[in-house]
């Protein structure tokens, strides 16, 4: 039974530590990439919400003075009307085809 010399063990340890550092670096790069894509998606969503909100206010400027609660309540009421719900479904279906 041959045992490894102290120098061999130190060399193996150094190689293992280098490999660990490499994998930790790869992991950090992947986490950074994930954050970049998630941030991008959040920014796109925020932009979409802002532009749609601005479009609603430009069509109905009276809404600017409403509280959020009143606005949500009104939108909920409007969007639950059967003819509006049907029109939304038709527009979504048209868009997907």
Percentage of residues in the chain having pLDDT higher than 70: 98
Number of residues in the chain: 97
Helix, strand counts (H, E) of the chain: 3, 0
Name the pTM for this structure: 0.54
Please list the pLDDT of the chain residue by residue as tens digits (97 residues). Answer: 568 899 999 999 999 999 999 999 999 999 999 998 889 888 999 999 999 999 999 999 999 999 999 999 999 999 999 999 999 999 999 988 8
Q: What are phi and psi of 5, to 5 degrees?
A: -75, 165
Q: Which residues of 49-64 are buried (b: 16+ CB within 10 A; e: fewer)?
A: eeeeeeeeeeeeeeee
Strand, coil or helix: 80: coil
């Amino acid at each position: 039974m041959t045992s490894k010399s102290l120098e061999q063990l130190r060399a193996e340890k150094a190689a293992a530590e280098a490999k660990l550092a490499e994998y930790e670096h790869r992991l950090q790069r992947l986490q950074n990439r994930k954050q970049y894509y998630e941030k991008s998606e959040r920014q796109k969503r925020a932009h979409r919400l802002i532009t749609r909100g601005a479009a609603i206010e430009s069509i109905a400027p009276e809404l600017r003075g409403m509280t959020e609660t009143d606005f949500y309540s009104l939108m909920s009421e409007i969007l639950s009307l059967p003819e509006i719900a049907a029109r939304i479904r038709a527009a979504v279906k048209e868009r997907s085809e």
